[in-house]
Amino acid sequence: MVSIFAVRLLRWTVGLGLILFFTYAMMFYGAGDPIKRMFLQSEDTQSVDPQVMEALRAKYGLDEPFLVQFSTYVEHLLQGDWGRSIRLSVDRPVWDIVSFRLPISMQLGFAATAVAAAIGIPLGVFASLKHNRWLDRIIVSTVMFVTAVPSFVTAPMLLYFFVLVLGIMDVPYGWSGLANKNVILPVVVTALGPLPIIVRQTRAAMLEVMGQPYIRTARAKGLPNHAVVSRHMFRPVMIPVVTAIGLIMITLVNGALFVELIFNIPGFGLLTVEGIRTVDYPIIMAVAVVGTLIIFVSNFFVDLIYPILDPRVRYS
């Protein structure tokens, strides 16, 4: 186990280093000068003093060549210094911004993943047990319809229905925690994205396991259908489903952009949009670092769950 973790740590270090290098290179050579962008977007661009711009570039280390800037950033990052935002929140430390925004997206992502799994896994099981019957066709058709509708269309439709038509809630706006009722609609809209993936993955895994010899043997012994499903089918089926859920959780935490924009949730996805729009180097690099670490850690925990679900799986 220790050797496996050591190998993973080495791979993570190399992977994170490459991602940081290419991300910084794309910003440096493709994104443009954030200081110049700052003044170009201001109301009075004629009275800008070039010396002020140069002083700001020197303050943030943007007057150095690429390799010097990148090595300085990595050196500061290893010391726990994530830099200071160039544009957001009046020159605040990046870590303060990330530590405030990331937990919001993680709560939203975990809640949406739990809702999608709680609904999608039973639907996939029912669809497989009624393969090619009317219930299976209804579930599959509904999943295909949900897949075809993007979140920036689903959210306004649900807002119109629940707020204006039914009048059972006010317009959800901002973030007040998972305990607040206003979080229901953002969680539902976010969960609709991964729901079809979980249903399809569960259904396909169930259909594959149904044809195994040990399932036919269990049925031949006279075990009821619910016992066959719960005792012999569910755990091997959950291995590909857990893999899909792990990948889904990564995308929800990192990429719930439209939901956070529509409901004005100050999460990590909205921070990503703001950082890219303002060419804020430290924010963009922080998004790359945190997003990469979330992927690494999520994949590691998914691998740890495999032997619990199926004892035949061993670490190697």
Write down the pLDDT at residue 39.
64
* One-letter amino acid of 69: Q
Instruction: Choose among 306, 301, 267, 313: nearest CA to 97.
Output: 267
Write down the pLDDT at residue 90.
59
DSSP 86: S
Instruction: Choose among 292, 269, 283: nearest CA to 151.
Output: 269
pLDDT of 233 over the 60 cut: yes
Task: Give the separation between CA 249 and CA 237, rounded to whole angstroms.
Answer: 19
Write down the pLDDT at residue 21.
92
Write down the pLDDT at residue 38.
66
| Averaged pLDDT for residues 231-241 | 78
pLDDT digits (tens, 9 = 90+) for 117-129: 999 889 988 888 8
Write down the pLDDT at residue 18.
92
pLDDT of 312 over the 70 cut: no
| Averaged pLDDT for residues 141-151 | 82
Task: Give the separation between CA 202 and CA 242, rounded to whole angstroms.
Answer: 10
Write down the pLDDT at residue 92.
81
Write down the pLDDT at residue 269.
82
pTM of the entire predicted model: 0.79
The CATH topology of domain 98-285+293-309 is: MetI-like fold (1.10.3720)
Domain residue spans of the chain: 2-81, 98-285+293-309
